[in-house]
Amino acid sequence: MAATDIAGPLGVARQALLAYVDPWIGRSLGELGALRDLRLDGSRLLASITLPVPVGDYRTELEDALSAVLAAAGLQFALQLQLTADIAAHAVQKTLKPLEQIRNVIAVASGKGGVGKSTVAVNLALTWAAAGARVGLLDADIYGPSQPLMLGLTGQRPTSVDGKRIQPLLAYGVKAMSIGMLIDPDQPMVWRGPMVTQALTQLLSDTDWGELDFLVVDMPPGTGDIQLTLAQRVPVAGAVIVTTPQDIALADARKGLKMFDKVAVPVLGIVENMSLHVCSKCGHEEAIFGEGGGERLAGECGTLFLGKLPLDARIRAEADGGRPTAVAAPDSARGRAYRDLARRTAAALALRGRDRSSLFPKIVVEET
């Protein structure tokens, strides 16, 4: 950096930008090493910023915030932002190695059934994809797959080019795979433990995912065989626990948290679904199932509270109609609730340790 940079307006701008704390990640651009380049072009200030989260939906917001920062520092520049994402592979269970092409496996789980895991999983995946990330969605609910319906893929079958690997189906930019795409939905399924665990690992490894930043795994409810297989065999970068505010769901969520703790799968945080009921006729809001439980549980368990989602009939209608809220109404209040959840989840992951194996070159000792 030239000495004049430090003293001059460019230096002042640099210091101001480096000190800016991103409200989602909770770290300054300086701490994040996010400011990659800064230069003046007449009265325009060109800033190149790289964040460790999907940024597609974030440019205008950040540009406005940083323009305000510059104005507060007494600078009159017109800021032009070049914003890119660099999503790292994060650390997984110590006993496992991260997958080569999939940077981060994110499991969406709950202790209790029917609390909204699948709805959260699909909207999380779609929001990240809309923000420019490379995203896959694996429906691990072998007993009751719901992703084909939610993604509008009912009846479609994945194909295989080489007879070995299966091509995932594509919906709204997300690569999706579900046992529901491979079986006849009208046939009752009889699965025994080993078949269940094999189905999960095969869906993961036999699918041609390509390069992904995130693979969201929609888990079945509870703490059974599939959860154990996931914990033991799938390198998970983080789990998101979904709960509703009722005591019974919270108690089950606590069990789910403990299970992941025991098997050393890192938990990113808790989402409270069906928090406030929003009347689709008059917009009146009511806390039917109680209030604040998810946040309290997160505090108690020392994990993050990733946000609350409204109980809104339109969320169900959109998911059942094969066009989940994140694509049907991303700018509505409910769409923004999913967007905020996706941002907080990506930020929680970004703050976790990186996969060290990708940071250092592998040392090979050759025998002579």
Ligand X SMILES: Nc1ncnc2c1ncn2[C@@H]1O[C@H](COP(=O)(O)OP(=O)(O)OP(=O)(O)O)[C@@H](O)[C@H]1O
Query: Of 44, 165, 262, 316, which one interacts with ligand X (CB under 6 A)?
Result: 316
Least distance from Mg ion to the Cβ atom of residue 292, Å:
25
329 to 56, 126, 318, 322, 325: CA distances (angstroms): 17, 12, 9, 13, 5
| Sheet arrangement for strand 212-218 | 169-171, 174-178, 135-139, 212-218, 102-109, 238-243, 267-272, 304-308
Distance CA 280, CA 193 (A): 42
With CB cut-offs between 5 and 8 Å by kind, which of Mg ion, ligand X, none does residue 276 bind?
none
The residue among 93 and 325 lying less far from Mg ion, judged by its C-beta, is: 325
Choose, by CB under 6 A, the member of 10, 55, 93, 110 that binds ligand X. 110
Torsion sign, CA atoms 115, 117, 120, 122: negative
Q: Which stretch binds ligand X (CB under 6 A): 21-29, 164-172, 304-312, 355-363?
A: 304-312
Nearer to Mg ion, 141 or 312 (CB): 141
| Site residues for Mg ion per CB under 5 A | 117-118, 141, 146
Q: Compare residues 93 and 118 and give the one whose CB is closer to ligand X.
A: 118
SS (H, E, C) 45-81: EEEEEEECCCCCCCHHHHHHHHHHHHHHCCCCCEEEE
| Binder of residue 290, out of Mg ion, ligand X, none (CB less than 5 to 8 A by kind) | none
CA atoms within 13 A on the CB side of 264: 9
Identify residue 183 by its one-letter amino acid code: I
- Which residues between 320 and 349 bind ligand X (CB under 6 A)? 320
Among 311, 326, 328, 346, binds ligand X (CB under 6 A): 311
113 binds ligand X (CB under 6 A): yes
Given Mg ion, ligand X, none, residue 347, with its beta carbon under 5 to 8 Å by kind, binds none
Residues 165-184 that bind ligand X (CB under 6 A): none
Closest chain position to Mg ion (CB): 118
Quick one: which of 49, 83, 115, 297 contacts ligand X (CB under 6 A)?
115
Considering beta carbons, is residue 197 or 273 the nearer one to ligand X? Answer: 273
Q: Which is nearer to Mg ion, 115 or 135 (CB)?
A: 115
Q: What are the structure tokens assigned to 341, written together?
A: 């959840």
Say if CB 142 and CB 191 are below 8 A apart: yes
Rounded to the nearest 10°, the torsion over CA 229, 233, 234, 240 is 40
Residue 309 is a binding residue for ligand X (CB under 6 A): yes
Choice from 315, 346, 347, 349 touching ligand X (CB under 6 A) = 315
**Could you give the strand order of the β-sheet that contains 35-41, starting from the edge strand earlier in sequence?**
35-41, 44-51, 78-85
The partner in contact with residue 274, picked from Mg ion, ligand X, none with C-beta cut-offs of 5 to 8 angstroms by kind, is ligand X
Contact range with ligand X by CB under 6 A, out of 27-35, 89-97, 231-239, 313-321: 313-321
Rounded Cα gap, residues 146 and 221, in angstroms: 12
Distance in angstroms (rounded) separating the CA atoms of residues 138 and 128: 15
The contacts of residue 256 (CB under 8 Å, 6+ apart) are: 109, 110, 111, 223, 241
Q: Which stretch binds ligand X (CB under 6 A): 106-114, 161-169, 192-200, 297-305?
A: 106-114
Nearest distance, CB of residue 340 and ligand X, angstroms: 14
Give the DSSP letter string of 92-136: --TTSPPPSSEEEEEEEE-SSTTSSHHHHHHHHHHHHHHTT--EE
26 φψ region: left (φ > 0), alpha (ψ -120 to 50), beta (else): left
Q: Tell the smallest beta-carbon distance from residue 124 to ligand X (Å).
A: 11
In angstroms, rounded to a whole number, what is the distance separating the alpha carbons of residues 129 and 323?
14
Stretch touching ligand X by CB under 6 A, among 25-33, 233-241, 254-262, 307-315: 307-315
Q: Which does 312 bind (CB under 5 to 8 A by kind): Mg ion, ligand X, none?
A: ligand X
Closer to Mg ion by Cβ: residue 146 or 178: 146
59 contributes a contact to ligand X by CB under 6 A: no
Question: Where do contacts with ligand X occur on this chain (CB under 6 A)?
Answer: 110, 113-119, 141, 144, 146, 220-221, 273-274, 309-312, 315-316, 319-320
